[in-house]
Homo-oligomer: A and B are copies of this chain.
Amino acid sequence: MKKKLTIQDIADMAGVSKAAVSRYMNDGYISKEKAEKIKTIIEETGYRGNFFAKRLKTKESKLIGVVLPRIDSVTVGKLLSGIYSVMDKNGYQEMFLVSKLSIDKEIRCIKKLYQQGVDGIIVDSVGITEEHLEVIDKLDVPVIFTGQQHQAVNSIKVDDLSAGLLMGRYLRDMGHKKAIFAGVTETDIAVGIDRKNGFYKGFLTDNPEAEIKFMEVGFDFQSAYEKAPEMVKGDFKPTVIAGATDNISLGVLRYLHEKGVRVPEEISLVGFGGYAMGTISYPALTTIEFDYKLLGQKAALGMLELLNGDEITDHGEFTLEFIPRESVADLCSERK
């Protein structure tokens, strides 16, 4: 542990002015000779400028606030690595706060980040409310939402509707007629509404006699596991269960294993997300992979534009990747 040095100390030691040291550390508008001297001193002392004094002057923190719904998720990890990859190149650093899937907390996180003096905020939101709008309106830094959408704010998200559509169609084409859609709360427009609507449309279109039963579950493995018994008992007899997220599907799978129901022989199962986790299960889960890293990159790129005073431009389309694995039975080929 050492004592904190100021730019003045360094200047004295090197026999130059504060300004010279400052220049050395920034532009470098300085003579070779002095630069060399300063360099030596700085290395010897391990001097680090005072971050706060610097920011006070420059009015920029070079800090981007990021609000995450949770920390222990692969999805979030990828999103973050996308944000990081572009921000790092541009000299920005992130500061994270976790909303724990709570809308209230999400808003508090935004405020807190703002108070920390970040230059901009990226929110991987779980739902955009009126209160969000109010709060954001008071801020003088740009905010971008991912995961959710609202016309009054900047948002970038994956195409949940198309993902649902794709999956619905795939199951239809595999000859399925009776599906359970294990979805989440409609507060979450992206996952709770879009993904579901897409699935319904894809599955029911041109699929005579097809039926879907909806069941609401939580976001987590456990919640789905607990609801699973309801899904398989009764007269409905689904040939496939579609979880709105991979976690949900995995929770259901766990229950099916315990009951000795074979997947996909007796019932098929699909999810959304494309987490590597889906390969841990047996059988591996058929899913649609969202490119969350790309999403993070786009959000970061958009933020850079906003910071620059520009509008957000489009950064190309998202590719949804359909990942067929082992958890779906082909009912068509079986019949022949």
Q: Are B1 and A139 in contact (CB under 8 A)?
A: yes
A1 to chain B, nearest CB (A): 5
Given contacts A52-B117, A116-B93, contact A71 B80 (CB under 8 A): yes
The answer to the question of A95 belonging to the interface, with a C-beta cut-off of 8 Å to chain B, is yes
- Binary B-proximity of A31-56 (CB < 8 A = 1, otherwise 0): 00000000000000010111111011
Provide the bound-state CA to CA distance between A279 and B220, in Å: 13
How many chain A residues touch B (CB < 8 A): the figure is 55
The answer to the question of A218 belonging to the interface, with a C-beta cut-off of 8 Å to chain B, is no
- Binary B-proximity of A80-110 (CB < 8 A = 1, otherwise 0): 1100100000000111111000000000000
The answer to the question of A153 belonging to the interface, with a C-beta cut-off of 8 Å to chain B, is no
The answer to the question of A138 belonging to the interface, with a C-beta cut-off of 8 Å to chain B, is yes
Further 13 A-B residue pairs, CB within 8 A, beyond A51-B115, A63-B116, A71-B71? A2-B140, A3-B140, A46-B139, A50-B117, A52-B53, A71-B76, A84-B98, A95-B95, A96-B96, A221-B279, A250-B280, A253-B280, A277-B280
- In the A-B complex, the 9 residue pairs with the smallest Cβ-Cβ separation, listed nearest first, are A72-B77, A51-B117, A46-B138, A52-B55, A257-B282, A71-B77, A52-B56, A72-B74, A52-B52
